[in-house]
């Protein structure tokens, strides 16, 4: 199978579905790699395989999804169902600049995506670095709450989020990063700080991409969150 240039490995955020903008406060993402696709559909992680059998053809197959329920924003579950249906019924794609459209043989565009930024990263540069969380989605971390992330090796990281310690078993390739997490409680926090710590650990589980330099680490999640870290002396 030959992949069109800049298709395999590309990453996208849904702009509209059936001509309608997404519900405010919702986010849907789509990632391609080596004949597979995955992403966040508004509440759940989904994925499957795809093939490109002819110019501009797109044939998805084997769709699977987690089965969580979400009550907010209002209507997100119905939007998620519409998205999954449209995706699995797609037969063709069209790229125009930084947008991609998925539609049917009648050239009707059912899903329109905006391309997400991609960064030239070397995962080896993560190893041995230590970080402290500065902000989540533009909101600074509350004073008195310490959140850290330390990359021990090419496959293992650990950190703390207030009264929670965690370990991450991760895989990184280019700017892609995925991991599983184990955590445990090691103390108590005031309710609001614990809530903020849990928001971080929940967000961290959805990690999809990262950008790294000597003074800053950014982690971008499949559900649209941005976590910004500064170097730590830990």
pLDDT of 3 above 60: no
Token reading at 7: 């298709």
Equal fold, 11-115 vs 123-231: yes
Q: What is the pLDDT of residue 74?
A: 96
| Per-residue pLDDT reduced to its tens digit, 9-54 | 889 999 999 999 999 999 999 999 888 999 999 999 999 998 877 7
User: Radius of gyration over alpha carbons of the chain, in Å?
Assistant: 19
Q: What is the pLDDT of residue 4?
A: 52
pLDDT of 121 above 60: yes
Class of domain 123-231: mainly beta
**DSSP letters of 173-206?**
ETTEEEEEEEEEE-S---HHHHHHHHHHHHHHTT
Q: pTM for this structure?
A: 0.88
Identify the DSSP state of 75. Answer: T
What's the CA gap between 106 and 164, in Å, rounded? Answer: 53
pLDDT of 55 above 80: no
The structural domains of the chain, with segments of one domain joined by +, span 11-115, 123-231
Burial of 16 (0-12, 13-18, 19+ CB in 10 A): middle
Q: What is the pLDDT of residue 6?
A: 56
- The yes or no reply on domain 11-115 and CATH 2.40.128.270 is yes
| Per-residue pLDDT reduced to its tens digit, 162-181 | 999 999 999 999 999 999 98
């Amino acid at each position: 199978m030959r992949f069109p240039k800049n298709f395999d490995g590309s990453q996208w955020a849904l702009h509209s579905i059936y001509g309608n903008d997404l519900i405010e406060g919702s986010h849907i993402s789509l990632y391609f790699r080596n004949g597979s696709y995955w992403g966040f559909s508004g509440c759940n992680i989904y994925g499957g395989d795809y093939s490109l059998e002819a110019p501009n053809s797109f044939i998805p197959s084997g769709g699977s999804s987690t089965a969580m329920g979400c009550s907010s924003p209002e209507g997100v579950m119905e939007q998620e169902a519409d998205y999954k249906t449209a995706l699995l019924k797609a037969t063709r794609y069209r790229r125009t600049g930084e947008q991609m459209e998925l539609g049917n043989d009648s050239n009707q565009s059912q899903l329109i995506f905006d391309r997400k930024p991609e960064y030239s990263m070397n995962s080896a540069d993560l190893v041995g670095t230590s970080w402290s969380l500065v902000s989540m989605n533009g909101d600074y971390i509350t004073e008195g709450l310490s959140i850290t992330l330390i990359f021990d090796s090419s496959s293992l990281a650990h950190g703390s989020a207030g009264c929670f310690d965690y370990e991450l078993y991760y895989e990184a390739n280019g700017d892609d990063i995925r991991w599983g997490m184990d955590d445990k409680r090691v103390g108590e926090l005031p309710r609001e700080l614990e809530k903020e710590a849990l928001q971080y650990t929940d967000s961290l589980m959805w990690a999809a991409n990262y950008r790294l330099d000597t003074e800053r680490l950014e982690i971008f999640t499949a559900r649209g969150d941005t976590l910004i870290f500064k170097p730590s002396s830990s």
